[in-house]
Structure 1
């Protein structure tokens, strides 16, 4: 198995394979990881991962990927500019003979603003940012490649990832900075997935995903963003954030943060539960954050 973009989530996938192999007494798949940083090789090796040095921005460095794996998890983000995801295009050319399965970690931002409506995987895509537009392009490239090559491609659309043991993986830092949130009249619905549950879904898709199928990967939480931060403040014993109108927030918050406050949707995860048979360890953010606080 090859993991492209083997950061926190990719490493969780590898650790879960190791734990499963230890529990069953069977050998798990050999895990390879593409990394552009030589400094990361010792940490990957310590996890039982074989690092392959290469960079998705340099096609020549990817030659060794040809035919190297039967299953691929692609978690690398697109470049920060342009209408197309050239990194995914280079990866597909480099893989050569198609693997049996490729799972891509996309974003729920491809849906754009849905006005708080419930959203399943059949909803038309309306990305509201260039960043999300590049994800749409990557999805289209991958699914077309899967149809041509015969590889089973699955796209996992991922919302906000959290985990108490993930760097920046909880709202605690934002709360300590005292950053405001939107007042209820202007607030948006937000969606979440614990990093361990995301890793589980990625593993499940490698074996159970249907050909060229898309899956929303999220927990059962149904909260507006401000309520999410209020809940986190209660769990951490911190002051609840101030509530501002959208117009007031535009004067004090950075554009990137505002972009996440401009889209509202509630994701349906029925397909993930039924087809991938994922059993969420953390069905809601309340459970995931509270458990992390107890461990801390």
Structure 2
């Protein structure tokens, strides 16, 4: 493509500024922003460095402006539930990282299965020149219950909960955008954890003594540490293939009860009680039972081979211990 047709214009590479937008800039978004800034600083002066990045984040809260600016992020006021405020997104950004969740479980009516937020964003982005790339962060819940099978991205979706149905709808909306020129990548993500993430460890649940399923009834669960997820998001933003789905997860191969047992041992806490599934239906809320009704293991070959993601925390043992394999390798 001739330089004057590039969305970055005909300027020399050192003067170009890549405009990146984060939609849903919470914990993972802030981690991605910090990693993006660190990567840019590390690559300064390198002829092969990425273009300089101008980073923005959509927010509906005036109170979020100062914290965002403090991290070098330009706040952009807009509300995902008010489509008119999203028109300013059109024709501005070269790459978009979409981390915002669909509407909550209270959505009812004929459109309960649709994610109106993602549909509104897609319509706004199509008003003018499309972004070059968009990464949508979805959930592995779209696969439904796989009875413990290993799941690749080619497996048909089978959502079993309202939130999973909305994620499928959002994925389809984003991939429609891909059909008109944007390189769209979809990341299907399991449980996110992190020692420095609010609610990012099982400590509170272990303190409550919430039961887990007995071994014969237990389900396989999957995990990703929050910094590793942020790294995967950025890898997809630059290296994701068009219209490609990627499973994102670590190498842990644990059932849910074993995960909580491991966490309890690492934190020096009592292991949770085990109960049969019939008893669990009487003791646990429906929202928690839904996670205990789906069992699957993720095939993350694409993430490693195509996105070239190197996990800092390859299993939950390292992640919950705060033991970074990258730091260990550097000190070896």
Taking structure 1 as reference, are residues 28 and 150 closer, same or farther at Cα in structure 2, changes over 3 Å only? same
**CA shift at 1:28, angstroms?**
3.9
2:142 alignment partner, one of 91, 104, 110:
110
C-alpha distance in structure 2 between counterparts of 1:85 and 1:105, whole Å: 13
Q: Deviations over 1:79-114 (max 9, x none)?
A: 122111111111011123210000000000000000
Q: Look up the match of 1:141.
A: 173
User: Residues 187 and 226 of structure 1 are in contact (CA less than 8 Å); yes or no, is this contact kept in structure 2?
Assistant: yes
Moved more, 70-79 or 283-292: 283-292
> Normalising to structure 1: TM-score of the pair?
0.96
Residue in 1 that maps onto 2:86: 62
In 2, the alpha carbon distance for the partners of 1:231 and 1:68 equals: 46
Q: Does 1:153 align with 2:190?
A: no
SS of residue matched to 1:67: coil
The superposition leaves residues 238-273 of structure 1 with CA deviations (integer Å, 9 ceiling, x where unpaired) of 000000011111111111111111100000100000
Corresponding residue number in structure 1 for 2:120: 90
The equivalences for 1:1-296 within 5 A come to 1-25=20-44, 28-80=52-104, 81=107, 82-95=112-125, 96=127, 97-147=129-179, 149-291=180-322
- Please give the TM-score of this superposition, normalised by the length of structure 2: 0.86
Residue 17 of structure 1 contacts residue 28 of structure 1 at CA under 8 Å; is this kept in 2?
no
Residues in 2 aligned to 1:192 and 1:251: alpha-carbon distance in whole angstroms: 27
1:18–1:28 CA contact under 8 A, matched in 2: no
SS in 1 for 2:302: helix
Residue aligned with 1:30, SS: strand
| Whole-Å separation in 2 of the counterparts to 1:64 and 1:210 | 27
The total of aligned residue pairs comes to 292
Q: Is contact 1:104-1:156 (8 Å) kept?
A: yes
Give the gaps of 5 or more residues in structure 1.
Answer: none
Q: CA deviation at 1:62?
A: 1.1
Counterpart Cα distance in 2 of 1:222 and 1:108:
15
Work out the CA distance in 2 between the residues paired with 1:55 and 1:143: 22
CA distance in 1, matches of 2:39, 2:181: 29
Q: Structure 1 residue 292: deviation in Å?
A: 6.5
Equivalence for 2:48: none
> Can you give the 5+ residue segments of structure 2 that lack an aligned partner in the other structure?
1-19, 46-50, 325-332
Ranked by relative contact order (alpha carbons within 8 Å, sequence separation 6 or more), the top structure is 1
Q: Is the 8 A contact 2:90 2:130 kept in 1?
A: no
